[in-house]
Structure 1
Amino acid sequence: MKIGLLTREYPPNVYGGAGVHVDFLSRELRPLVDLTVQCWGEDRRGEGGTVAYGHTPSSAMAGANPALATLSIDLSMTAAVADRDLVHSHTWYANMAGYLAKLLYGIPHVVTTHSLEPLRPWKVEQLGGGYALSCWAERTAIEHADAIIAVSHGMRSDILTVYPTVDPDRVRIVPNGIDSQLYQYTDDRSAWSKYGLDPDRPTVLFVGRVTRQKGVPHLVRAAAKFDERAQLVLCAGEPDTPELAKEFVGLVDELQSSRDGVHWIHEMLPRDEVIQLLSGATVFACPSVYEPQGIVNLEAMGCETAVVASDVGGIPDVVRNGVTGLLVPYSAADPRGFEDAFAQRVNELLENPERARAMGLAGRKRAVEEYGWGAIAARTVAIYQSLGEK
Structure 2
Amino acid sequence: MRVGLLTREFPPDVYGGAGVHVEFLARELARLVDLDVHAWGEGRGDGVLRHRSWTALDGANDALRTFSVDLAMAAGLQDCELVHSHTWYTNLGGHLAKLLHGVPHVMTAHSLEPLRPWKAEQLGGGYALSSWAERTAIEAADAVIAVSGAMREDILGCYPALEPGRVHVVHNGIDTSLYRPDHRTDVLDRIGLDRSRPYVLFVGRITRQKGVPHLLRAVRDIDPAAQVVLCAGAPDTPEIDREFRDLFRELSRAREGVHWIPRMLPRPEVVQLLTHAAAFVCPSVYEPLGIVNLEAMACGTPVVASRVGGIPEVVEDGRTGLLVPLDDDFEAGLARALDTVLGDPEAARRMGEAGRERAVGEFGWDTVARRTVRLYEEVLKQA
TM-score range, shorter chain: over 0.9
Match of 1:379 among 346, 365, 371: 371
Match of 1:146 in 2: 142
| 1:180-195 correspondence runs (5 A) | 180-195=176-191
Corresponding letter in the other structure for 1:158: D
Whether the 8 Å CA contact 1:98–1:141 is kept in 2: the answer is yes
Report the Cα offset of residue 28 of structure 1: 0.3
The number of equivalent residue pairs is 382
Counterparts of 1:59 and 1:340, CA distance in 2: 48
* Identity of matched residues, %: 62
Give me the whole-angstrom Cα distance separating, in 2, the residues matched to 1:58 and 1:67.
12
Aligned partner letter, 1:261: G
Q: Does 1:252 align with 2:248?
A: yes
Secondary structure of 1:181's aligned partner: coil
Aligned match of 1:295: 291
TM-superposed deviation, 1:54: 0.5
Match runs of 1:217-256 below 5 Å: 217-256=213-252
Q: Deviations over 1:321-367 (max 9, x none)?
A: 00000000003xx2xx1000110001000000111110000000000
SS in structure 2 of the partner of residue 224 of structure 1: helix
Name the residue aligned to 2:11: 11
Give SS of 2:209's match. Answer: coil
Deviations 1:212-265 (A, max 9, x none): 000011001000111001000001114221111111111110111111011111
Structure 1 stretches of 5 or more lacking a match? Answer: none
The residue matched to 1:84 in structure 2 has which SS?
coil
Contact 2:35–2:47 (8 Å) recurs in 1: no
1:32 matched residue in structure 2 = 32
2: CA distance between counterparts of 1:290 and 1:272?
27
Note the C-alpha offset of 1:75: 0.2
Match of 1:361 in 2: 353
Q: Is the Cα contact below 8 Å between 1:43 and 1:51 reproduced in 2? A: no
SS of alignment partner, residue 121 of structure 1: coil
Q: Helix, strand or coil for the counterpart of 1:213?
A: helix
Matches within 5 A, 1:47-126: 50-126=46-122
Aligned residue for 2:106, secondary structure, equals: strand
Residue number among 169, 174, 177 corresponding to 2:170 in the alignment: 174
1:326–1:345 CA contact under 8 A, matched in 2: yes
- The residue aligned with 1:341 is 333
State the 1:164 CA deviation. 0.6
Q: How does 1:247-326 map to 2 (within 5 A)?
A: 247-326=243-322
What TM-score does the superposition give when structure 1 sets the normalisation length? 0.97
Q: Is the partner of 2:323 in helix, strand or coil?
A: strand
Letter in 1 for 2:349: R
What is the CA–CA distance in structure 2 between the aligned matches of 1:18 and 1:11, rounded to whole Å? 12
Q: Distance in 2 between matches of 1:364 and 1:13?
A: 27
The CA RMSD measured in Å over matched residues stands at 0.8
- Contiguous gaps of at least 5 residues in structure 2: none
Deviation >3 Å, runs of 4+: none
- CA distances 1:132-159 after superposition (whole Å, capped 9, x unpaired): 0000000100000000000001100000
Matched residue type, 1:79: A
8 Å CA contact 1:177–1:376 kept in 2: the answer is: yes
Assess, with a 3 A threshold, how the Cα gap between structure 1 residues 305 and 163 changes in structure 2: closer, same or farther.
same
